[in-house]
Amino acid sequence: EAKLQGRNIWQCYTGQISAPTLEHISLRREMFEAIEEQQFVVYYQPLVDARTGEVRSLEALIRWHHPERGMVPPNDFIPLAEHTGQIISIDQWVLRQACLDTVAMNASRPHAQSVAVAVNISPIHFRRAGFVNEVQQVLAESGLAPYLLELEVTEGVLMSGADTVIKQLDALRHYGVRVAIDDFGTGFSSLSYLRQLPINKVKLDRCFIEGIDHQRDSAAIVQGVITMAHNLGLQVVAEGVEAHAEWEDLTRRGCDFLQGYLFSRPVPLIDVMALPNRLPV
Ligand code: C2E
Ligand code: MG
Ligand code: MG
Ligand code: MG
């Protein structure tokens, strides 16, 4: 839910982590076990071409099938994993799995256009020295073409340690890996700042899409981002598209890619492999 706070700061709900509690202490231990015991699974949600409905890429979204707690959503453990540093091994596991799965996915549909995969990378992981080498290694091991990998980072990554981040982005671009700014509009970066960065895409946060048909300011933000992004040579993705009217509105406004429950929820690999190349809505 988006609220206009103060003058011009949009606030969208984000998971937050407070003082350590007993709950966190046990979750921390359980996250260590989760990788060992293969409790994590990667689900995939398609991103479609706004004009044709064709599936162009898949976003990898982690799921934790906890033996006692059941399904733990990422917003309930990613912030803690970032706090404890465990996010690095979690992200590394997801990256590797997503590349392997995408190679399998494309091999299973030799006559269709290859789909790309988008992997979320935590800022603390992205900023680490050696991150780009790690990505190169995973690509080499999995056999995924670099241009089929897209990394999603939030605006937050850009705001601190700009020099390191620009170096990482340049190295990724040199290697052919694509980068998208996730949850765009919820942080403090402006499009004019993005102009200086070698990135490919912005993903408009879901909170702007929710209001597009009844809140004039949401619609204005969406239109402004699309227009400016295109002028800077960037593509635009809308997240959280749930209604047909939103799809039409976004397409009319020139949005390039759409993602949301209207097309598909995030699903296991086997189910995403069974989806048609073009999604009916
Ligand atoms: P995100 O990267 O912005 O991912 C989009 C989120 O929106 C996903 O939530 C997705 O299931 C949800 N979503 C997609 N379409 C719709 C829709 O039409 N309606 C609604 N209501 N929701 C929709 P999910 O899977 O719970 O993930 C939440 C966040 O957790 C992600 O936000 C991302 O920031 C983080 N995350 C997930 N997997 C990973 C991972 O492997 N590594 C890292 N570092 N973060 C991850
Ligand atoms: Mg994402
Ligand atoms: Mg997002
Ligand atoms: Mg998000």
160-213, pLDDT tens digit by residue? 667 888 899 999 999 999 999 999 988 766 777 777 789 999 999 999 998 787
pLDDT of residue 6: 42
Residues with CB under 6 A from ligand 1: 45, 61-62, 73-75, 78, 87, 91, 94, 120, 122, 152, 182-183, 206, 239-242, 259-261, 266
State the average pLDDT over residues 228-243: 95
Task: Encode pLDDT of 72-98 as tens digits.
Answer: 999 999 999 999 999 999 999 999 999
Q: Tell me, what DSSP letter sits at residue 176?
A: T
pLDDT of residue 38: 92
- Whose alpha carbon is nearest atom 30 of ligand 1? 74
State the average pLDDT over residues 88-112: 95
- Please, which pLDDT band fits residue 280 given cuts at 50, 70 and 90? confident
- Higher-scoring residue by pLDDT: 151, 11: 151
List 201's β-bridge partners, or say none.
180, 235
Instruction: Tell me: ipTM over 0.95.
Output: yes
Say whether pLDDT at 274 is over 50.
yes
pLDDT of residue 2: 41
**Cα distance from N-terminal residue to C-terminal residue, the chain:** 25
**How remote is the CA of residue 235 from the centroid of ligand 1, in Å?**
20
> What is the torsion angle, in degrees rounded to the nearest 10, for the CA atoms of residue 198, residue 202, residue 205 and residue 210?
170
Element (H, E) at 255: none
Distance CA 108, CA 95 (A): 20
Task: Encode pLDDT of 4-52 as tens digits.
Answer: 444 445 556 555 666 667 788 889 999 999 988 999 999 999 999 999 9
What are the backbone dihedrals phi and psi of residue 96, each rounded to the nearest 5 degrees, phi first?
A: -65, -50
Q: Are 106 and 114 in contact (CB under 8 A)?
A: yes
Percentage of the residues of the chain whose pLDDT score is greater than 90: 70
Q: Which residue out of 120, 122, 242 has the highest number of ligand 1 atoms within 8 Å of its CB and is therefore the one to mutate?
A: 120
| Residues 139-147: contacts with CB under 8 Å, at least 24 apart | 139/99, 139/177, 141/96, 141/99, 142/96, 142/99, 142/100, 142/102, 142/103, 143/103, 144/99, 144/102, 144/103, 144/117, 145/114, 145/176, 146/175, 146/176, 146/177, 147/116, 147/176, 147/177, 147/178
Mean pLDDT, the chain, whole residue set? 89
Say whether pLDDT at 3 is over 80.
no
Give the number of the atom of ligand 1 that is nearest the alpha carbon of residue 261: 18
CB atoms within 10 A of CB 14: 12
- Higher-scoring residue by pLDDT: 158, 148: 148
Distance CA 184, CA 113 (A): 28
Say whether pLDDT at 228 is over 80.
yes
